[in-house]
Every structure is written in structure tokens, then in C-alpha cells.
Amino acid sequence: MFHRVVQVLPTKDFRVYVYFEDGKIKLFDASNLITKGVFQRLQDISVFIDTCTVLNHTLAWDLGGKFDPSGCLDLDPEELYNSCPDVMEPKLDNSIQTAKG
């Protein structure tokens, strides 16, 4: 079974709530990832939040703004599903942006 991401919800502390097709919600902490290689571009919180999206059924950052897979940074949905902790639906407050997906 392949796990598909259907919605993402980035936060101001470099985390992303990742919603899967089967109803599970996972919390991905990107704080370590954004210190490495091509992901360093995401250290700007505005870029992190504004480009965070669902592309090809996974969490991605559309850095080119064209929803072109060749111009994005994305993560393996299976890795997200298997390694990120399950969480409950977050309460909306000023640390969470509007849902994307």
C-alpha cells in the first residue's frame, strides 16, 4: 500500500502537520532538515510556509512556484508515514498557517 499525502499544514516553528489519505495525521519536524544541503533555502520561515504544499501525493516545497516536480523539494511519503509520530488535529492559532493541499 502506498500512503498518499492529501493536505499539509506548516507552522512557524518549522514543523508540518501531514494529513494522509487513510485519515492519519503525522507531525514532521523539519528543524534538522533545513540545516542541510538544498533544504537550507527553507531556513527563511516565509519560504518554508509559503511554498509548503502537496505535490505528487507528498509533502513538498514548490520553490519554483509552478507546481513542477523538477522545481520542488519533496520528501518520501512512506518515510514520513513510518517515521513521524501520529498526532491529533491541531488547534488553530497564530503559529499555524492556513491548510494547503
Residue 14: CATH number of its domain: 3.30.2020
If you write DSSP's letter for every residue of 21-64 in order, what string do you get?
Answer: TTS-EEEEE-TTGGGSGGGGGGGSHHHHHHTEEEETTEEEE-TT
pLDDT, position 13: 97
- Region 19-25: mean pLDDT is 98
| Residue 24, C-alpha cell as written in the block | 492519519
In-domain check, residue 34: yes
**In the chain, how many domains are there?**
1
pLDDT computed for residue 1 by the predictor: 72
Please say if the pLDDT value at position 52 is more than 60.
Answer: yes
Give the residue numbers spanning the domain of 30: 5-83
Instruction: Give the chain's mean pLDDT.
Output: 92
Give domain status of residue 44, yes or no: yes
Least confident window among 22-31, 33-42, 90-99:
90-99
Residue 100 in any domain: the answer is: no
Please say whether the beta carbons of 47 and 33 come within 8 A.
Answer: no
The confidence score (pLDDT) of residue 71 equals 87
pLDDT of residue 95: 53
